[in-house]
Amino acid sequence: MKVKELASVTCFHCGDVCNEDHRIHAGKDFCCQGCQVVYDLLNEAGLCDYYTLEAEPGIKRKENADEQRSELFGLGEVRDRLVEFSEDGITRVRFHVPQMHCSSCIWLLENLARIDNAIIRSRVSFADKELIVTFREEKLSLAALVQLLRKVGYGPQLTNEAGKRSGAGVPRMLHVRLGVAGFVFGNTMMLSFPEYLGADNEAGLKEGFQWLIVLLSFPVVFFLSTDFFRSAWAGIRSRTVNIDQPIALGIVALWTRSLHDVLTGAGPGYFDSLAGLLFFLLIGRWYQAYTYRALRFDRALEDFLPLVVLRKRGVEEQPVQVADLVPGDRIVVRDQELVPVDAVLRSGTGHIDNSFITGEPLPVRRNVGDTIKAGGRQRGSAIELEVLHSFADSRLKKLWAEQGSAHERPVMPRLIDGVARRFTIAVLLISVCAGLYWWGRDAAQVWPVVTAVLIVACPCALALSMPFAYGHTMRLMGQRGLFLRDAEVVERMAHVDAVVFDKTGTLTAREAHEVDRSGISLSAQECSWVRSLARNSTHPLSVVLFHELKGDVLEVSDVVDVPGRGVQGVVDGVPVRLGSALFCEGPEAPCASGHAQVHVWIDGHHRGRYDIRKHARAGILQAVERLGAKARVALLTGDRQVDPELASAFSRADVRTSCSPVDKTRAIVGYQQQGHRVLMVGDGLNDAGALAQSDVGITVTETSAALTPASDAILDATAIARLPHFLHMARQARRIVIASLCISLCYNITGVSLAVAGYMTPLIAAILMPLSSVSVVGFVTLAVTLTARSGRRN
């Protein structure tokens, strides 16, 4: 098992690189037991097409922060939320399965019936990431069904919006509008052909066409344009100028002028331009809506919490709603479960992993009598707690409740509105002047000229450049691991000149650890003993050791997991222990923050300890360097001190240790008062306040599940090194918008001057309009893509 060759082998099921746990089964490589099991399952069900539709489509089974216990699904309350109906033993449920991502997923999930014949049929709604299963409940319980899904890697999520219909999709109305626009545009153009080619009006053809065109223009104004009118009107009412006002103005002018022309027989009007205008505008709108579709931000805190807990009354334990807990209740929290409310430990030893709140992955030990804050996750054996506060006023709830106000950001004037204001005013001025000028020379020309100005000035391209530039940037960022809430965030990012990091879990990877072996010296054989034993414990530290140490995995007999102290087992007939100093009969050693110790005891002797230190994420240091060049960089951390290598990176930046959430928020306000636009990179909930306060709040997550409502964006932990590039992209996007505005302005100027001079003909308008729109869109898309590419190199 050479590490080199291993690196090249990827799992047949999930495509991950196979590491030490690599196994070859049925002539295929698998990275872990889980994947192999799934393969066998599918194989015997004759579902191996799963692997032919897409390469390595599988999903690795890892215990997911927000996967609920399957028993939960047996509960009345939860059941009601999922079950769509249930008659004589046949039940249909609707799950939220965010893991589905490719054709293979759909195919497998729609073929569940082949795996278990209690399942009658299963259907997927890919857009909503939803799975609807119909099954015979007497043969297969809901819980068992969930188990099955979990087993094949599609464990459903118990979200509150399960059952909520496609919130994220593009609104259907928009599709309808788009279709109608295309239809009207095409036909209008077609009917205008005799006009373009100056055909003679034989058989009253041109007139006939003319009236058809007029008829076609009605839906354009009364159906396609309604949104623009609405938002324009809203603007007027709130006495603000927005981009939709000149557009609305243009549409109205275009239509009335054209109608006037046709009715007075003055000419064919500009109906084709009108239709084209709306068509392109709507494409812009569609693109915008489409890019947001990828994201689902509206996630409730409940997703992270067990909705039900086991309440202990006397001897019998029964599950109850978290909300129903009252102070004084006794609750039982088992391995891997969250503590839903602040509570006091009554029995058992707590190994509380606060990563959910602070991002600290390493569990802290809690003894009977200690208070455990809500949101902590128990690792190890079950504990019994006494509820202090009801869920309503638990700290977690409070923290989250504060997020309500999170979206109110310090106002930042949107570039486009600024432009729009000046633009609108300018247009109005020009048309007035033009009107006056012609008044003097030839009164008959006033009306045509004024309307012509309004028409060609209609900022179609202007309106398109924004959604396309930002929308496209947003999409490309998404592909690279940064998911924005909406396109406006791009603009805010463009203004950022100060970046604040929250250390815990943000800069330090959860997986990447540094194991300091100085405190210990073991033979290769002993090393493999330790590794083998570590493999038998779910304790994070054991996991770390298992990954860090080398050596082959041996059979371990009579393993004893002593909760909160360590694990013991016999390898090659030799008893081995891993755990606390006490447990391994060794001396307590002073332990710095962010450090943890694992003592080793072999055959009755304390053999020393491993010092385990969290490590900065790959590339973070360089990233910080590059950020420093463009913006002010700061580091706020709840810890007492900073790991040296991080400190070196932030040498020039200001570092504040042991900050409380409130301190962090204050700090942000401080920067903002100094006139900085602050981008905050944090995680967990305890810096939510700061995230909300900052101009742009980014949450770093390892599983896309752990979003906080406070943040504008989610950054995939592995992509954090690209942060400088993302900022670059945002800045570029803004420049591109400005550039494209200039382009469209050129068009408008040409058009307006032609109009003022009274040379504007329907044909010119018909050409100018789409030309400007298309060229602007093309330019923007191209430029943004190129910018994103440039990032590849650095």
Q: Check residue 212 for interaction with another protein (CB under 8 A).
A: yes
The number of CA neighbours under 13 Å toward the Cβ of 620 is: 26
Q: Which residues in 563-652 belong to E strands, given as ranges?
A: 566-571, 574-579, 595-602, 605-616, 632-636
590 φψ region: left (φ > 0), alpha (ψ -120 to 50), beta (else): beta
Q: Check residue 222 for interaction with another protein (CB under 8 A).
A: yes
Backbone angles phi, psi at 246, to 5 degrees: -60, -35
Rounded to whole angstroms, the Cα distance separating 290 from 280 reads 15
Nearer of residues 169 and 758 to another protein, judged by Cβ: 169
Retrieve residue 170's tokens. 């593009």
Stretch that binds another protein, among 106-114, 251-259, 538-546, 666-674 (CB under 8 A): 106-114
Q: Check residue 171 for interaction with another protein (CB under 8 A).
A: yes
Q: Check residue 55 for interaction with another protein (CB under 8 A).
A: yes
Rounded to whole angstroms, the Cα distance separating 627 from 717 reads 17
How near is the Cβ of 208 to another protein at its closest, in Å? 4
Q: Which residues in 14-148 belong to E strands, given as ranges?
A: 23-25, 28-30, 83-87, 90-96, 119-125, 130-136
In 3D, which of 466, 465, 461 has the Cα closest to residue 750?
A: 461
CB distance 536 to 744 below 8 Å: no
Q: Check residue 205 for interaction with another protein (CB under 8 A).
A: yes
Helix (H, G, I), strand (E, B) or coil at 678: strand
How near is the Cβ of 166 to another protein at its closest, in Å? 6
Of the residues 40, 49, 63, 393, which one makes contact with another protein according to CB under 8 A? 49
Nearer of residues 222 and 439 to another protein, judged by Cβ: 222
Q: Check residue 469 for interaction with another protein (CB under 8 A).
A: no
Size of the site for another protein (CB under 8 A): 58
Backbone angles phi, psi at 513, to 5 degrees: -130, 160
Nearer of residues 220 and 522 to another protein, judged by Cβ: 220
Q: Given CA atoms 483, 487, 489, 494 in this order, what sign does their dihedral have?
A: positive
Nearer of residues 68 and 111 to another protein, judged by Cβ: 111
- Build a one-symbol-per-residue string for 667-706: x at contacts with another protein by CB under 8 A, - elsewhere: ----------------------------------------
Q: Given CA atoms 496, 499, 500, 501 in this order, what sign does their dihedral have?
A: positive
How near is the Cβ of 340 to another protein at its closest, in Å? 34
- Build a one-symbol-per-residue string for 381-420: x at contacts with another protein by CB under 8 A, - elsewhere: ----------------------------------------
Q: Check residue 204 for interaction with another protein (CB under 8 A).
A: yes
In the sheet that holds 364-366, the strands lie side by side as 364-366, 350-353, 377-378
Of the residues 1, 17, 190, 429, which one makes contact with another protein according to CB under 8 A? 190
In 3D, which of 595, 682, 673 has the Cα closest to residue 634?
A: 682
CA distances from residue 127 to 124, 499, 783 in whole angstroms, order as listed: 9, 35, 30
Nearer of residues 186 and 670 to another protein, judged by Cβ: 186
Applying the rule CB under 8 A, the residues between 719 and 748 that interact with another protein are none
CB distance 392 to 323 below 8 Å: yes
CB distance 372 to 333 below 8 Å: no
CB distance 754 to 695 below 8 Å: no
How near is the Cβ of 87 to another protein at its closest, in Å? 8
Of the residues 28, 60, 114, 150, which one makes contact with another protein according to CB under 8 A? 114
Q: Check residue 277 for interaction with another protein (CB under 8 A).
A: no
In the sheet that holds 654-656, the strands lie side by side as 482-484, 713-716, 696-701, 678-682, 498-502, 632-636, 654-656
Q: Check residue 288 for interaction with another protein (CB under 8 A).
A: no
How near is the Cβ of 165 to another protein at its closest, in Å? 6
Q: Check residue 216 for interaction with another protein (CB under 8 A).
A: yes
Using a 10 angstrom Cβ sphere, with 0-12 exposed, 13-18 middle and 19 or more buried, the burial of residue 793 is exposed
Q: Check residue 199 for interaction with another protein (CB under 8 A).
A: yes
Of the residues 15, 74, 163, 182, which one makes contact with another protein according to CB under 8 A? 182
Of the residues 17, 26, 52, 365, which one makes contact with another protein according to CB under 8 A? 52
SS (HEC) of 400-412 = HHHHHHHHCCCCC
How many CB atoms within 10 Å of residue 160? 15
Retrieve residue 598's tokens. 């694992």
Nearer of residues 94 and 377 to another protein, judged by Cβ: 94
Of the residues 211, 233, 439, 759, which one makes contact with another protein according to CB under 8 A? 211
Nearer of residues 563 and 770 to another protein, judged by Cβ: 770
How near is the Cβ of 107 to another protein at its closest, in Å? 5
- Build a one-symbol-per-residue string for 120-159: x at contacts with another protein by CB under 8 A, - elsewhere: xx-xxxxxx-----x-------------------------
In 3D, which of 396, 318, 466 has the Cα closest to residue 777?
A: 466
Nearer of residues 221 and 691 to another protein, judged by Cβ: 221
Q: Check residue 232 for interaction with another protein (CB under 8 A).
A: no
How many Å from the N-terminal Cα to the C-terminal Cα in the chain? 34
Q: Check residue 173 for interaction with another protein (CB under 8 A).
A: yes
Q: Check residue 201 for interaction with another protein (CB under 8 A).
A: no
Amino acid at 777: V
In 3D, which of 116, 157, 156, 152 has the Cα closest to residue 134?
A: 116
Q: Check residue 164 for interaction with another protein (CB under 8 A).
A: no
How near is the Cβ of 297 to another protein at its closest, in Å? 19
Distance of CA 501 to the CA centre of its chain: 19
Q: Check residue 219 for interaction with another protein (CB under 8 A).
A: yes
Q: Given CA atoms 274, 276, 277, 283 in this order, what sign does their dihedral have?
A: positive
Q: Check residue 641 for interaction with another protein (CB under 8 A).
A: no
CB distance 508 to 362 below 8 Å: no
Of the residues 80, 202, 555, 558, which one makes contact with another protein according to CB under 8 A? 202
Nearer of residues 48 and 368 to another protein, judged by Cβ: 48
Q: Check residue 757 for interaction with another protein (CB under 8 A).
A: no
Q: Check residue 176 for interaction with another protein (CB under 8 A).
A: yes
Q: Which helix (H) or strand (E) holds 277?
A: helix 271-292
Nearer of residues 49 and 442 to another protein, judged by Cβ: 49
Nearer of residues 127 and 433 to another protein, judged by Cβ: 127
Nearer of residues 123 and 656 to another protein, judged by Cβ: 123
Q: Check residue 187 for interaction with another protein (CB under 8 A).
A: yes
Nearer of residues 190 and 524 to another protein, judged by Cβ: 190
Of the residues 1, 7, 215, 662, which one makes contact with another protein according to CB under 8 A? 215
Of the residues 58, 98, 156, 194, which one makes contact with another protein according to CB under 8 A? 194
Nearer of residues 190 and 742 to another protein, judged by Cβ: 190
Q: Check residue 272 for interaction with another protein (CB under 8 A).
A: no
Stretch that binds another protein, among 208-216, 250-258, 563-571, 736-744 (CB under 8 A): 208-216
CA distances from residue 430 to 242, 451, 463, 740, 750 in whole angstroms, order as listed: 19, 11, 20, 22, 13
In 3D, which of 514, 577, 560 has the Cα closest to residue 362?
A: 514
Rg, the chain, Cα only: 32
Q: Check residue 41 for interaction with another protein (CB under 8 A).
A: no
| Chain contacts with another protein (rule: CB under 8 A) | 45-46, 49, 52-53, 55, 90, 103, 106-107, 110-111, 113-114, 117, 120-121, 123-128, 134, 165-166, 169, 171-173, 175-176, 179-180, 182-183, 186-187, 190, 193-194, 196-197, 199, 202-205, 208, 211-212, 215-216, 218-219, 222-223, 226
